Amino acid sequence: MTDRAARIRAGIRTVPPAQPALDTRVSVDLAHLRRLQGQAKTLNFLPRQPSGSALNGRHASRMRGRGLAFEELRGYLPSDDIRSIDWKVTARTGKPHVRVFTEERDRPALIVVDQRMSMFFGSQLNMKSVTAAECAALATFRILDQGDRVGGIVFGDETIAEIRPQRSAAALNRFLTAIAAANAQLRADAPNVEPVSLNQVLGAVSRIAPRNHLVLVFSDFDVIDDQTHKLIRGLSRHNDLILGFVTDPMADNLPNDLRLVISDGVMQAEIDTGQTTIHRQLSEMSRGRLAEVLDWTRTLGVPVLPLSSAKDSLAQMRQLMGRARR
């Protein structure tokens, strides 16, 4: 019977074909990202960091925190801290007065997630795009749980999605949906296009987060130049900027027995890393970019968190935040 109503009257039910299970090492969906919420509670993005955190140290960001807002000027009480006394007002009135401040309960955060085709690679555990997506989701859940507003920028080869920082479940859902949608566009037969530049994205970050934001960028920082350095330096001058540098082990240790077929969607070429010259040139190019980005901690004063697609996302985030594995 082909008629659905007739099948129901006859008591015949058809079972829809089972959908293949999602391999979360290759791609992520909204359900997978949401499942990370409980795990995120073990992270900490507040200004006071554990001693082993990568955000501590001589070159790390001086996490500004939420700051203080002036509330009132009033007479001194015996329980007040003498450091809060306003000596000018005290001298003018002849009576001790103190300035009262309250902690700002909000520090907006902007999380930037790279989902370009350069991220669609992995040699051991995950694709770099999956590691970036998972780390961004973990950070989003934790920062929102700390009471701060969270927004983000998700960019692929052709699209940029902007979500302004808000403290709401709707904004969280829009951000995670944007990550899942951008990740779904990554596939081996994707058309060859000129990708969105990292500089364009950093310019959008400057517009949305002009100052006093926590900005986290999860990317492999493919195609960088002097303008990239200027944009990063400018962002770090007015914000707490943290760079999550996502890499794959093959970039640091290229095997010398691979025969790779690469394609731009139209043409393809074969690369044999067994050839000494080719292996040396590829290794030098890859290691040079790795060293340059990691050196931004020293040259630009920006903390760079090395994230590997070969490791579990939560485990390495906990380690970088100075928290032992449970």
Which stretch of 45-49, 133-137, 168-172 has the lowest confidence by average pLDDT? 45-49
- Token pair, residue 106, equals 């909000």
Q: Report the alpha-carbon distance of residue 148 to residue 115 in Å, rounded.
A: 25
Kindly state the average pLDDT of the residues 262-291.
61
The tens digit of pLDDT for each residue in 67-94 reads 555 667 888 888 788 888 999 999 999 9
pLDDT at 120: 94
The packing angle between helices 226-238 and 198-208, to 10°, is 20
The tens digit of pLDDT for each residue in 108-160 reads 999 999 999 999 998 889 999 999 999 999 999 999 888 889 999 999 999 99
SS3 for 58? coil
Q: Report the alpha-carbon distance of residue 68 to residue 290 in Å, rounded.
A: 39
Kindly state the average pLDDT of the residues 232-241.
92
Q: Compute φ and ψ for 33, nearest 5 degrees.
A: -65, -40
Question: Greater confidence, 60 or 207?
Answer: 207
Residue 57: is its pLDDT beyond 50? no
Q: Which amino acid, one-letter code, is at 77?
A: L
Kindly state the average pLDDT of the residues 18-27.
81
Q: Report the alpha-carbon distance of residue 60 to residue 316 in Å, rounded.
A: 18
Looking at residue 101, what DSSP letter applies? E
pLDDT at 325: 47
Q: Which domains does the chain have, with CATH numbers?
A: 30-60+107-320 (3.40.50.410), 68-103 (no CATH)
Percentage of residues of the chain with pLDDT beyond 70: 70
pLDDT at 127: 95
